[in-house]
Amino acid sequence: MKTALITGCSSGYGLETARYFHAQGWNVVATMRSPREDLLPRSQRLSVVALDVTRPDSIAAALEAAGPIDVLVNNAGIGVVGAFEATPMATVREVFETNTFGVMAMTQAVLPQFRARRSGVVVNVTSSVTLARMPLAAAYTASKAAIEGFTGSLAFELEAFDVLVKLVEPGYGPTTAFTQNGGARMQGLIPEAYAPFAERVFAGFAQPGAVTTEADVAQTVWRAANDATGQLRFPAGADALALAQSR
């Protein structure tokens, strides 16, 4: 029976992915900064573990608690929406610490066991902002685009050890807590000069066409984790699929 460690499982895509892998009969290590046992089914095949991907000591403790794993799903992330001109560099660095350096640190921590065993899969969850230009998302896009480049290069260098690295690119998920979780971080990031432009952008967000659901992402992560075809990128959600096909 295989084991997946999934980061960022307190809500949204991570929570649904943990549920989905468990439903497929896998062992699941669901990690969260503030663990909540009530979010997931009680099961001998599922454990909830504390993890802050920005802290090396937390990463080490979580991996020790998890034991050997077969798949790492780097899903944990934070968002920021606003005019880049008004975005403090401290906020940009905060976003990169989780979305970019946290992913890299988690990956680096599991590679020794994957390489020694000559098996293992790393699935990095990015975003459809890497598939097309998105307004008011410059810092967030940069943090995710960095992981796209990182993943492609890493996949190439790990081929010799039979370790696979995949990208899952979710679209816009209005039912997730993305905006709610980043509310405080996004305060004051629309200066008056940008207000007319931002109003048009937010009006578009309020009336989306195709969107991405939590189930879309969970199922796509599952496909990526079990893929043996050599495919690197897996768009998730109708909107992300449309963007990927139009490139």
The per-residue pLDDT string of the chain (247 residues; one tens digit each, 9 = 90 and over) reads 999 999 999 999 999 999 999 999 999 999 999 999 899 999 999 999 999 999 999 999 999 999 999 999 999 999 999 999 999 999 999 999 999 999 999 999 999 999 999 999 999 999 999 999 999 999 999 999 999 999 999 999 999 999 999 999 999 988 886 655 555 666 789 999 999 999 999 898 887 788 999 999 999 999 999 999 999 999 999 999 999 998 7
Clarify whether 194 is annotated catalytic: no
The pair of three-digit structure tokens given for residue 148, joined into one six-digit string = 């796209």
What phi and psi, each to the nearest 5 degrees, are found at residue 33?
Answer: -65, -40
Residue 236's nearest CA partner among 218, 228, 246 is: 218
pLDDT for the residue 184: 63
Nearest-angstrom CA–CA distance, 79 and 42: 30
Nearest-angstrom CA–CA distance, 98 and 58: 13
Domains of the chain, start order: 3-246 (3.40.50.720)
Nearest-angstrom CA–CA distance, 117 and 201: 48
Nearest-angstrom CA–CA distance, 175 and 88: 28
Helix (H) or strand (E) holding 35: none
What phi and psi, each to the nearest 5 degrees, are found at residue 46?
Answer: -135, 130
Nearest-angstrom CA–CA distance, 90 and 79: 14
pLDDT for the residue 179: 55
- Active-site entry in 13, 20, 140, 194: 140
pLDDT for the residue 208: 78
Nearest-angstrom CA–CA distance, 130 and 216: 18
Q: Residue 226 carries which DSSP code?
A: T
Q: Taking the CA of residue 124 as centre, how many other CA atoms within 13 Å lie in the half-sphere pointing to its CB? A: 31
| C-alpha pair distances (Å), 163 with each of 62, 71, 111, 117, 158 | 21, 10, 9, 9, 5
